[in-house]
Structure 1
Amino acid sequence: MEDRRTAWLLGLAGLLPFLLTLWLAGWGPVAWQETAVRAFLYYSAVILSFLGGTHWGAALQNPQPGHNHRLLIAMAPSLIAWPALLFSPLWGLVVLGVGFMFVWGYDLSRNGRFGWPSWYWQLRTLLTVIVVLAHVVLLTRLW
């Protein structure tokens, strides 16, 4: 129960950099807006890569015969996130947002669910919805 509470608190706290940089990028002082967009993108790439790392850890912690593909899929988020930082901010936001949806889709698959506590899916869904919506809001501000 304590792990669950801690995971929820840390997961929700992890939204703060998204929300702060989103606010600064759209409604903060003009001098900070470009930096805030970059900060949002960089944080997004870090968190997307982190999600891949969780699957890497889960695959090693709960090995299943014939499930080596989970290790390969675990690499995809960082291979999506890194190039997204090389694109324009607009396209970087699109690529990162799609990356979060890709990982969430895999998370909900039978193989992606293996090894996680049942409450984890509520947390992942809530966090993903908020993160993707933050990407959409920032996209509309930049468009």
Structure 2
Amino acid sequence: MTAEEMQRVRLPLWLGLAGLSPYIVCVVSAYLLPMRWQALAVEVFVTFGAIVLSFLGGVHWGVAISLDRCGTRDFNARLMMSVVPGLLAWPALMLDYTEAAAILMIGFWLVRLYECQQDSAERLPGWYQGLRKLLNTVVILCHLAIMARLTLLG
């Protein structure tokens, strides 16, 4: 990657890393703060995860309307896929927090699998793929940490 390309992707990188801070703060809080604050941290974690997962669906809506021809198979498939994250996230908010975290984690994993398919690889910039790989890895690890906190420590 050239210096100019690095400069262009600096903002998305910093914004993506900033977007990890609520996850990390909530995980640390769920382990270290007094019990009342731990419960709030878990609630905030799940709510933030649902918002971010829905946002990722919106990315693919945007890709479809800007890069695919309306009515084509690729357009229709990408639009349908773009609503799945929100349709997973919304009901997750009504479940037990352990179940919600598991469903959200699966949703993040499924979106990432979709982004790795040839069709998506051709439409998403390389820098986005690299950034999403990093962010998704951290987000899934945070979900595992929250589920461990809820399951193992009560």
Shift in Å, 1:3: 3.5
Structure 2: distance between partners of 1:115 and 1:131? 23
Query: 2:31 — aligned with what?
Result: 26
Structure 1: distance between partners of 2:84 and 2:59? 12
TM-score (norm. length: structure 2): 0.89
Instruction: Report the AA paired with residue 33 of structure 1.
Output: Q
Structure 2: distance between partners of 1:114 and 1:52? 17
Query: 1:117 — aligned with what?
Result: 125
Match of 2:86 among 60, 78, 92: 78
SS across alignment from 1:15: helix
Structure 2: distance between partners of 1:3 and 1:45? 28
Deviates more, 1:59-68 or 1:128-137: 59-68
Identity among equivalent positions (%) equals 37
Instruction: Report the AA paired with residue 141 of structure 2.
Output: L
SS across alignment from 1:86: coil
Note if 1:39 corresponds to 2:47.
no
Structure 2: distance between partners of 1:114 and 1:84? 31
**How well do the aligned residues superpose, as a CA RMSD in angstroms?**
1.0
Shift in Å, 1:114: 3.3
Structure 1: distance between partners of 2:10 and 2:122? 21
Query: 1:57 — aligned with what?
Result: 62
Shift in Å, 1:111: 1.9
SS across alignment from 1:14: helix
Higher Cα radius of gyration: 2
Shift in Å, 1:113: 2.3
SS across alignment from 2:59: helix
Instruction: Report the AA paired with residue 62 of structure 2.
Output: G
Shift in Å, 1:118: 1.1
Query: 1:139 — aligned with what?
Result: 147
Instruction: Report the AA paired with residue 142 of structure 1.
Output: L
In structure 2, runs of 5+ residues without a counterpart are none
Shift in Å, 1:66: 2.1
Higher helix proportion:
2
